[in-house]
Amino acid sequence: MYYFISDTHFGHQNIIKYCDRPFLSLTDMDLVLIRNWNERVQKTDTVFFLGDFCLSKSSEAPNSKNFNFYRQQLNGNIIFISGNHDNRGNKQAKTIITNIGIFYGNENIFLTHNPKYINLNYKFNFVGHVHNKWKFQIINKCIVVNLSVEQWNYHPVTINEIMSAYHQWRKQSCEK
């Protein structure tokens, strides 16, 4: 099975306030995100992570090697795409991938962190970065899907879940 997710921001206390996340504390947020992930993702599954995994250096997080601390608690084979916070000294993610194109669910899909770098040659662009601002947008006939955790009940999602939510959104948009 393949999953998609972005912007967990493990170990980042202030993200709770910035994005109005429904957590009482950093520990609460991290535990819920890890539980939600592992309830869905099996050890043999693949997860495309679209950036901003964790804070790399923070007194807020419980470990000086935050990336490894969080990564070791999560199921699945994770393909990391670099996010803007991943470039701020978080070399532990060890990814040189800034974007990637895949063919999945009979669709060519472009994956990147920041929506300003979408690829107009792809019908679908999966992004993160914008957190709770919007879930779907149409930009120059491209369907842009925001996979920030705030949009997907704080867990990784499958292509079927994404497409179902997109079709529901389109239906509601057309009814207005």
pLDDT for 117-154, tens place per residue? Answer: 999 999 999 999 999 999 999 999 999 999 999 999 99
pTM, entire model: 0.91
Our count of domains for the chain comes to: 1
Residues in a beta bridge with 49: 5, 80
pLDDT band at 11 (very low <50, low <70, confident <90, very high): confident
Q: Which two tokens stand for residue 171?
A: 């239906």
Burial of 173 (0-12, 13-18, 19+ CB in 10 A): exposed
Task: Give the 3-state secondary structure of residue 52.
Answer: coil
The CATH number that applies at residue 132 is 3.60.21.10
pLDDT band at 89 (very low <50, low <70, confident <90, very high): very low
More confidently predicted of 89 and 163:
163
Q: Are 37 and 156 in contact (CB under 8 A)?
A: yes
- When pLDDT is averaged across residues 67-78 and rounded to a whole number, the result is 92
Q: What is the DSSP letter of 47?
A: E
Q: Which of 25, 49, 55 is nearest to 37 (CA)?
A: 49
Domain hosting 136: range is 2-175
Phi/psi of residue 79, nearest 5 degrees: -100, 110
Burial 117-128 (b: 16+ CB within 10 A, else e): ebeeebebbbbb
Q: Which of 115, 151, 119, 156 is nearest to 135 (CA)?
A: 151
pLDDT in tens, 16-46: 999 999 999 999 999 999 999 999 999 999 9
pLDDT band at 90 (very low <50, low <70, confident <90, very high): very low
Is residue 50's pLDDT more than 50? yes
Q: Cβ contacts of residue 103 below 8 Å, gap of 6+?
A: 109
